[in-house]
A and B are shown apart, each in its own frame.
Chain A
Amino acid sequence: MIEIVLAVVFLPFVGAALAPAVYRLLGERTAYYAAGVAAVCLALVTRLYTAGVGLDGGTRYAVDWVPALEVSLALYVDGLALLIAFLASGVGVLVLVYSGGYMHGEPGQSKYYATMLAFMGSMLGVALAGDLFALFTFWELTSLSSFLLIGHYTSADDSQYAARKSMLITVAGGLFMLAGFLLLAWAGGTTLIAGGDDSLVATAGPTIETLRSVGLFVPALLLVGVGAATKSAQVPFHVWLPNAMEAPTPVSAFLHSATMVKAGVYLIGRFRPFFLGAEGGGAHGGGAAGSRGSGAAAGTGGEGAAGEAAGEAAAAAASLLPEWSVVFVTLGLATMTVAAVLAVAATDIKELLAYSTASHLGLITAGFGAANALGAETGAFHILNHASFKAALFLVAGIVAHEAGTRRIENLRGLRHDLPVTAVIAALASLSMAGIPPFNGFYSKELLFEATYELGHELGGTAWLFPVVAVVGSVFTFLYSIKFLSLFLGDRPDGLGHVHRPPVSMLAPPAVLGIVVLAVSAVPNTAIDLLVGSVYDSTVPGAAHGFSIPFPPSKLKPAVIMSAITIGVGAVAWPQYDRLHHGIRRVLAGPVRANWWYDNGVDGLTSGGRDVGEWVQTGLVRTYAAWTIGATSLLALGGYVVGEVGLPALSVPPGMTPAIVLVLLVAVVGAVAVTAAPSHVAGVLTLSILGFMVAIFYILADAPDLALTQLVVETLVLVLFLLVLNRLPAYYGQPSPGRALRDGALATLAGATVFLTVVLSTSATPSEPLSGVLVERANLPPGEHASVFTNYGGGSNVVNVILVDLRAADTLGEISVVAMAALAVLTLIRMRTRGDTR
């Protein structure tokens, strides 16, 4: 089976690599090639499903990836993974077929199909990842491919803005998630997510204890939460999703409704059993005692939870509630309501659908957030339901935009006359989105109502806000769903031009999704038995079992009343839709909009970054030199202080003759004279006095090689100096006292460092001098010898034998530096006129 699992993930990438070549052969029919690749993936996923892999508990497969770091490419198959994989490959097939019609005559198709396939592979990778690092890698790959697809129209400004926005938000969120993963990996001692006895989920109890003991449980939860919230466009990170609608509509249907944005809720579902694992009560839910017990544990362990909730009452509620629920139910319900309100304010059909997507993702998040069985059921079921009706609606929106030539809501009405089949699909899907019985959206919304009611009932107090907010959000959901449907009702407006019939390749995919909506609506319990039940299993800790939905409800449950209120209030408010629409738009100005914060934040960072850059990179070599010299000196001195190096006793070394003393004195005089030199040239000439005195010192100290080198180098450097000095101004002006003081201090510091280093390093002579060994090894052994030697240097000049034989590698390094320096001079001087200059 491992071959199949690997093939599912990597086949799309191979397909993506081949796409440009295929495009040359097939042209626009590449759409069907890409759909074929997706279909093979779908078949492989189906094969996994029919083989029963992961349906009863997950199965993990692992291939070594970075053995040195004990990172393996672990893939994990369970219900949740299979559902997301089905969505990615199944919706992938439909959307790629649809692209064949939609993308007709569009630019950049070869890139488009390659990126779509690469995205599908990344999404399948996210779904099947069993290892934190594999998950993170595929996660970021989805962000990357989303960036490319949103920016498909590379020359459009809106498109660039939208692509950058989504990239910034989702990738930044991914980095938060990575930090969270590192905490989990540290605490759990493993990077495996689920399955087996050694994974994070299996060892949730001790791992969470470790995290709590250092106070990092809530940070880890929040970090992973930020990752999920940015990807799933949860408030306040929802701002990127409406802009992402700049992408071609198939991309919106695929990435920004059915799959990529599901990665966030997938992450929540994936880590739900881990974060609720230690609670013990979450598995079978319902039981208030279980949740209360766990709540008490949470209260003692995580003070951070209190900080999360606003106000004392909320803090009191938090002490009874696992942090998990506080974070995700609040996040989810806030998103559900805010995004639904924004959807009512939308003027563009894709914008409406985008906000609606965020809203429904909020519903799923809230469902997974609720620490009871109903919550998990909500999340698991709504992932499927939302993907089916929302992808269908996006494809419908694509048809409308493509055939009617406009996406403005106010210009569109009575489309059923021109697009009858599309109208039927739209009706099915939008009634399901509105949560009207007996469509599938209704069932999962019922589950959410029940879950929130349960929470309110269990916790009391402010927790009663949960069901109320859920109902308010649903009222707005009802309103915008009916608005979308109303595009097809009524009479054709005069302004609407001729509307074409869509080609079959564009009509069939939404029709298939419409049939899925119908099928799930007709037999919800079959869908649950087939797949959703095991999705539910993978999102609850411990052993679990499937669930079923009673329909029609046998008794009047609170959730049924909540649904009735939703539909009733919605129906009453419907005539006031335009007033609501305009009212919300009036309120949306300035800091109320999350976009305002994003735009100002990005602008601030851009200009701030530029300022910092200009402050740090002055372009003045003397600034860099000052910092480099100062830092080097301080680090060296700091090292001596930390290492507690004692100063050796200074004494006159043996072998000091009057001649040596005289030469050194002249050198000192030369050095002092440099400071008094009237010009650069005179300064350099005086400096060379110092150099030649050192050379003479070497001669007197019996070091002919050093003396020779010093002499020749000194001569050459002098000439080079004189060549360069000619280019410098003769007079720099009087430095200010402050600068003179600063430069003097820096020079003193550098001089002191060098002096100390020399004293310290020369005093650290080993007890047995190395020179003996080297001298012995340099020359040939005395007496009779063979004609070839490789273990002796074979020369009587020990200095050179060291250079070219005993330590030849050092010399090789040094001449490499010489070559590099020559190259650098060549580049800097010759090419400085090329390229940008400031």
Chain B
Amino acid sequence: MSDETESNRPAATAGPTDETEQTVNTSTGRVGPAFDHRTTVIARTVVRVVVPVVVVTALALLFQGHNRPGGGFIGAVLTATAAVLVYVIFGLEYLQSHLLGIDSSPNEPHAPTGWYRWLFAGGLALAAGSGMFPLLAGLPFLTQGVAFVHGLPIYGELEVASALAFDLGVYGTVVGGLLTVVAEVGEE
């Protein structure tokens, strides 16, 4: 909830479009990351601390989903929220070029979306493709299996569910889709 109020304020007071444009204009003479100057130091510091935690939480939710609350969808939305946090506080440019390392040159302004597009396409392909494997064994489409691996150093016995591949597909699709929407809408 505290993330909420942090993120609302700047967006509520001023348009993100103006911010990004301004960022691009002023950043030319500056060294270092370009970010919005109207966000407070507190907000920026909190986000720096919180975002890694959010991402780790998201991954934890993704992997523990089979046996405890969580799952691919929740993990994906949380990951996207982390990205949106960075975007709201530091701007789209920072998120894409500094955090994700995707350069959007002037003649290729939509390079990041290209990556997101691959992400959701790949996720969909993974989810559908993982459902194809059972067909080889003569089982119905999307049959999931569970196998047990014994004698691992820390875990001892580990349950490996094929549903994890499917869940990863869901994760990829949702993260890719949401980031696409955020990037496209945000760029407006």
Interface residues of A (CB under 8 A from B): 681, 685, 688, 692, 704-705, 708-709, 712-713, 715-716, 718-720, 722-724, 726-727, 780, 787-790, 792-797, 799-801, 803-805, 808-809, 811-812, 815-816, 818-819, 821-822, 825-826, 829-830
The answer to whether A818 and B120 touch (CB under 8 A), given A792-B146, A797-B66, A808-B142, is: yes
Contact A722 B8, beta carbon cutoff 8 Å? yes
What would 4 more interface pairs be, CB under 8 Å, given A722-B8, A797-B69, A804-B66? A790-B145, A800-B71, A822-B120, A830-B110
Whether a CB of chain A sits under 8 angstroms from the CB of B3 is yes
Cβ-defined partner of B113 (8 Å) among A688, A708, A722, A826: A826
* Chain B, 156-180, CB within 8 A of any chain A CB: 159, 161, 163, 166-167, 169-170, 173-174, 176-178, 180
Contact A812 B127, beta carbon cutoff 8 Å? yes
Contact A816 B124, beta carbon cutoff 8 Å? yes
Contact B167 A804, beta carbon cutoff 8 Å? yes
Cα–Cα, bound, A399→B11 (Å): 80
> Which residues of chain B come closer than 8 Å to A685, judged between CB atoms?
8
Identify the closest chain A residue to B1 (Cβ): A692
In the A-B complex, the 9 residue pairs with the smallest Cβ-Cβ separation, listed nearest first, are: A794-B146, A822-B177, A795-B66, A804-B163, A704-B69, A726-B15, A790-B145, A805-B144, A712-B77
Whether a CB of chain A sits under 8 angstroms from the CB of B131 is yes
Cα–Cα, bound, A724→B185 (Å): 7
Q: B104-141: contact bitstring with A at CB < 8 Å (1 yes, 0 no)?
A: 00000010010011001101100110010010000101
> Which residues of chain A come closer than 8 Å to B143, judged between CB atoms?
790
The answer to whether A819 and B141 touch (CB under 8 A), given A716-B81, A797-B66, is: no
> Which residues of chain B come closer than 8 Å to A816, judged between CB atoms?
124
> Which residues of chain A come closer than 8 Å to B141, judged between CB atoms?
809
Cα–Cα, bound, A790→B139 (Å): 9
Cα–Cα, bound, A164→B65 (Å): 63
> Which residues of chain A come closer than 8 Å to B61, judged between CB atoms?
708
The answer to whether A826 and B66 touch (CB under 8 A), given A709-B74, A804-B163, is: no
The answer to whether A722 and B11 touch (CB under 8 A), given A808-B166, A809-B142, A829-B188, is: yes
Contact A812 B120, beta carbon cutoff 8 Å? no
> Which residues of chain A come closer than 8 Å to B7, judged between CB atoms?
719
> Which residues of chain B come closer than 8 Å to A805, judged between CB atoms?
144, 161, 163
Most buried by B among A685, A727, A793, A805: A805
Contact B12 A722, beta carbon cutoff 8 Å? yes
Whether a CB of chain A sits under 8 angstroms from the CB of B21 is no
* Chain B, 17-60, CB within 8 A of any chain A CB: 17
> Which residues of chain B come closer than 8 Å to A825, judged between CB atoms?
180-181, 184-185
Contact B71 A712, beta carbon cutoff 8 Å? no
Identify the closest chain A residue to B177 (Cβ): A822
The answer to whether A780 and B70 touch (CB under 8 A), given A685-B8, A819-B173, is: no
> Which residues of chain A come closer than 8 Å to B17, judged between CB atoms?
726-727
Identify the closest chain A residue to B84 (Cβ): A719
Contact B146 A780, beta carbon cutoff 8 Å? yes
> Which residues of chain A come closer than 8 Å to B11, judged between CB atoms?
719, 722-723, 726
The answer to whether A822 and B15 touch (CB under 8 A), given A718-B8, A780-B146, is: no
> Which residues of chain A come closer than 8 Å to B180, judged between CB atoms?
822, 825-826
For B, the interface residue count at a CB cutoff of 8 angstroms equals 68
Contact A808 B81, beta carbon cutoff 8 Å? no
Identify the closest chain A residue to B171 (Cβ): A815
Contact B144 A720, beta carbon cutoff 8 Å? no
Cα–Cα, bound, A818→B186 (Å): 18
Most buried by A among B66, B72, B186: B66
Min CB distance A702 to B, Å, is 11
The answer to whether A811 and B170 touch (CB under 8 A), given A709-B74, A790-B139, A819-B121, is: yes
Contact B81 A826, beta carbon cutoff 8 Å? no
> Which residues of chain A come closer than 8 Å to B72, judged between CB atoms?
804
> Which residues of chain B come closer than 8 Å to A705, judged between CB atoms?
69-71, 74
What are 7 inter-chain pairs, A to B, with CB distance below 8 A? A681-B12, A692-B1, A709-B77, A716-B81, A790-B134, A790-B139, A808-B142
Cα–Cα, bound, A829→B159 (Å): 44
Min CB distance B179 to A, Å, is 9
Cα–Cα, bound, A529→B85 (Å): 94
| Dominant secondary structure of chain B at its interface with chain A | helix
Contact B159 A794, beta carbon cutoff 8 Å? yes
The answer to whether A812 and B71 touch (CB under 8 A), given A722-B12, A795-B161, is: no
Contact A795 B73, beta carbon cutoff 8 Å? no
Min CB distance B81 to A, Å, is 5
Whether a CB of chain A sits under 8 angstroms from the CB of B16 is yes
Min CB distance B65 to A, Å, is 5
Contact B124 A815, beta carbon cutoff 8 Å? yes
Min CB distance A580 to B, Å, is 74
Whether a CB of chain A sits under 8 angstroms from the CB of B78 is yes
Min CB distance B108 to A, Å, is 13
Contact B70 A708, beta carbon cutoff 8 Å? yes
Identify the closest chain A residue to B137 (Cβ): A790
Cα–Cα, bound, A270→B178 (Å): 64
Contact B144 A808, beta carbon cutoff 8 Å? yes
> Which residues of chain B come closer than 8 Å to A812, judged between CB atoms?
127-128, 131, 142
Cα–Cα, bound, A830→B121 (Å): 18
Contact B84 A815, beta carbon cutoff 8 Å? no
Cα–Cα, bound, A718→B11 (Å): 11
Whether a CB of chain A sits under 8 angstroms from the CB of B148 is yes
Min CB distance A718 to B, Å, is 7
Min CB distance B21 to A, Å, is 13
> Which residues of chain A come closer than 8 Å to B124, judged between CB atoms?
815-816, 819
Cβ-defined partner of B148 (8 Å) among A713, A787, A790, A826: A787
> Which residues of chain A come closer than 8 Å to B71, judged between CB atoms?
705, 797, 799-800, 803-804
> Which residues of chain B come closer than 8 Å to A704, judged between CB atoms?
69
Cβ-defined partner of A712 (8 Å) among B78, B113, B120, B163: B78
Whether a CB of chain A sits under 8 angstroms from the CB of B95 is no
Most buried by B among A704, A812, A825: A812
The answer to whether A826 and B184 touch (CB under 8 A), given A719-B88, A794-B159, A815-B174, is: yes
Contact A708 B4, beta carbon cutoff 8 Å? no
Contact B185 A795, beta carbon cutoff 8 Å? no
The answer to whether A815 and B169 touch (CB under 8 A), given A708-B61, A716-B81, is: yes
Min CB distance A691 to B, Å, is 11
> Which residues of chain A come closer than 8 Å to B178, judged between CB atoms?
716, 822
Cα–Cα, bound, A789→B66 (Å): 15
> Which residues of chain B come closer than 8 Å to A811, judged between CB atoms?
127, 166, 170
Identify the closest chain B residue to A724 (Cβ): B185
Identify the closest chain B residue to A809 (Cβ): B142
Min CB distance A805 to B, Å, is 4
Cα–Cα, bound, A718→B85 (Å): 12
Cα–Cα, bound, A726→B65 (Å): 36
Identify the closest chain B residue to A713 (Cβ): B77
Cα–Cα, bound, A67→B111 (Å): 51
Cβ-defined partner of A829 (8 Å) among B81, B121, B185: B185
Cβ-defined partner of B188 (8 Å) among A716, A727, A787: A727
Contact B185 A815, beta carbon cutoff 8 Å? no
Identify the closest chain B residue to A717 (Cβ): B77
Cα–Cα, bound, A726→B11 (Å): 8
Contact A815 B123, beta carbon cutoff 8 Å? yes
Min CB distance B175 to A, Å, is 10
Identify the closest chain A residue to B176 (Cβ): A822
Whether a CB of chain A sits under 8 angstroms from the CB of B100 is no
